[in-house]
């Protein structure tokens, strides 16, 4: 059975001058897997966080508004992938129909093959994580600031029964730190605690950069 990996590309990494080059170097060092990736919201979501502190809204409303805004980071990163010759093996998962096709493809895959293990599938979070799909799932995420794309990536990994979920960060990550310690340090969000006893491997690590920026 092919390894299934979910990858979260931290929103702060979107400000990297050569993000796709750094990501490519990291990706080529990973064992073959069926790769599903999502992008964080970065400074865009931080602006909403600041706005909400000044003019508090209903937590659930703000949460789903932020989820919808992730469409912008997805589309921007998607367009960058599509125009970068270093990434010929790229597939955009734009909408629920494309997501359903990806799941069917994944379910029908047994022996690893180049078409699957060498393709980066970038997923549009609002097409996957929705009110009607999140409620009633084994892990229902809080509709609040406790949930960011860290926990959403873990939630998606659970939905596809991934073997591992990798959260790539722009900051330093203490070596050998537990998930609970990373939550306490503010490196990953509070809702990640829901996945502390999961069977999948959870990796939280910085994305090395050729320019030395982490």
List pLDDT tens digits, range 43-79.
Answer: 999 999 999 999 999 999 999 999 999 999 999 999 9
In a domain, 11, yes or no: yes
Confirm whether pTM is higher than 0.75.
yes
146 belongs to a structural domain:
yes
Between CA 91 and CA 94 the distance in angstroms is: 9
Q: Which residues span the domain enclosing 64?
A: 4-206
How many domains are there within the chain? 1
Q: What is the pLDDT of residues 73-126, one digit of tens each?
A: 999 999 999 999 999 989 999 999 999 998 888 887 544 445 556 789 999 999
Evaluate whether residue 211 is within a structural domain: no
Task: Tell whether 212 is covered by a domain.
Answer: no
Q: Name every residue whose Cβ is closer than 8 Å to that of residue 155 and which is 6 or more positions away in sequence.
A: 129, 134, 137, 139, 141
Q: What is the pLDDT of residues 144-169, one digit of tens each?
A: 999 999 999 999 999 999 999 999 99
Give the Cα separation of 206 and 91 in Å (integer). 24
Domain membership of residue 213 (yes or no) is: no
- Report the CATH number at residue 181: 3.40.1160.10
End-to-end CA distance of the chain: 34
Closest by Cα among 57, 121, 111 to 87: 121
195 within a domain of the structure (yes/no): yes
Q: Is residue 187 part of a domain?
A: yes
């Amino acid at each position: 059975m092919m390894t299934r990996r979910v990858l979260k590309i931290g929103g702060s990494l979107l400000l990297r001058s050569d993000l796709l080059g750094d990501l490519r170097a990291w990706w080529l060092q990973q064992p073959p897997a069926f790769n599903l990736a999502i992008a964080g919201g970065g400074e865009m979501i931080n602006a909403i966080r600041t706005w909400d502190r000044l003019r508090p809204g209903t937590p659930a409303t703000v949460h789903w508004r932020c989820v919808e805004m992730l469409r912008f980071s997805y589309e921007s990163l998607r367009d960058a992938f599509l125009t970068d010759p270093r990434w010929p093996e790229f597939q955009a998962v734009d909408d629920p129909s494309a997501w359903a096709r990806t799941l069917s493809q994944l379910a029908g895959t047994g022996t690893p093959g180049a078409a699957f293990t060498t393709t980066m599938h970038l997923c549009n979070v609002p097409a996957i994580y929705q009110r009607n799909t999140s409620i009633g799932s084994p892990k229902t995420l809080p509709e609040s600031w406790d949930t960011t794309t860290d926990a959403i990536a873990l939630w998606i990994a659970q939905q596809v029964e991934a073997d591992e979920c990798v959260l790539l960060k722009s900051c330093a990550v203490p070596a050998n730190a537990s998930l609970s310690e990373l939550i306490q340090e503010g490196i990953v969000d509070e809702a990640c605690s829901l996945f502390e006893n999961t069977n999948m491997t959870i990796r939280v690590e910085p994305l090395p950069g050729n320019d030395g920026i982490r």
